[in-house]
Structure 1
Amino acid sequence: MHGSGTEGGARPTGTSGVDHVFLALERELAVFLRRARASSGEMAREVHPGLESAAYGLLVRLEGAGAQRATDLAGYFGVGKATMSRQLRALEEVGLVVREPDPADGRASLVRLTEEGLERFRRVRDARRERYVRKLAGWDRGEIAELARLLSQLNERASD
């Protein structure tokens, strides 16, 4: 990585022994995550009134990865099976997802977006992307690609 100011793995710390680089990262991530949760809640309600914020992330995953087992979704998001079951039930009740038998294992089921769920999700997602385009209009496309790459790397390591 370039320009980190911490060549050779040195960790600059203040007199209190606090690594200010990681302190700054923690602070910025906390703000980012709080805003992301609020935004996800807004997006979920735009898909369907009354949905909780976690619903939007589920819709993103199902649209991107296709049909999934509930246990796989729970593992992906790092939540318990009961929590995932409750969240999926809410999406089922409003007709956004459906469960179907898993062809690979008749005892299990796969969750997938319904046509209505896909249409509603894509409409909201496309509007969200337009907001990102406007907010990041002054950024270089390479910077945006680098941010996406770094966030992907952070997400991958968080799941270890």
Structure 2
Amino acid sequence: MKKIGLMSDTHGYIDPKIYDYFKDVDEIWHAGDVGDISVVDDLEGFKPVRGVYGNIDDHVIRAAWPKVNTFECEGAKVVITHIAGKPYRYVKDAKEVIDIEQPTVFVCGHSHILLVQYDKNINALWLNPGACGYKGFHKVKTILRFEIEQGKVQNMEAIELGPKSI
């Protein structure tokens, strides 16, 4: 079993509460729009991290992280990308990756809207942790925390960090 902390859209800022909420996770996954390479450095100094770059990220972050990250975690096939659309209505690039990789867990960011939903059309659990930075239209910073065991996501927690203001 692995405990996962999932975040997105930091836009250069890590809320200090994240370190408390993610203290017992085994890995952190970041679904893009990191904003500053110092975020990657800080997270990697804290826990193992898997991530992707987002549309606001510069060449430094794009050199550190891929556009799409595909891997196995405790028997689950995971795909992370930043821009994907929404369940049942994917952007072309995301749909192509889904069709090729056939994940059981599909992770994205970008919308700043937290949503966890099983999409029967792709046979995958779709996860978007919302946004945990202070830039964007969201009102509340959010993250997800969950476990993966024998290919199954369990004990999902949607966590509100508070208002997006610093």
**Max radius of gyration: which structure?**
1
Q: Aligning the two structures, in what range does the TM-score lie when normalised by the shorter sequence?
A: under 0.3
Q: Which has the higher strand share?
A: 2
Task: Give TM-score scaled by structure 1 length.
Answer: 0.26
Q: Which has the higher helix share?
A: 1
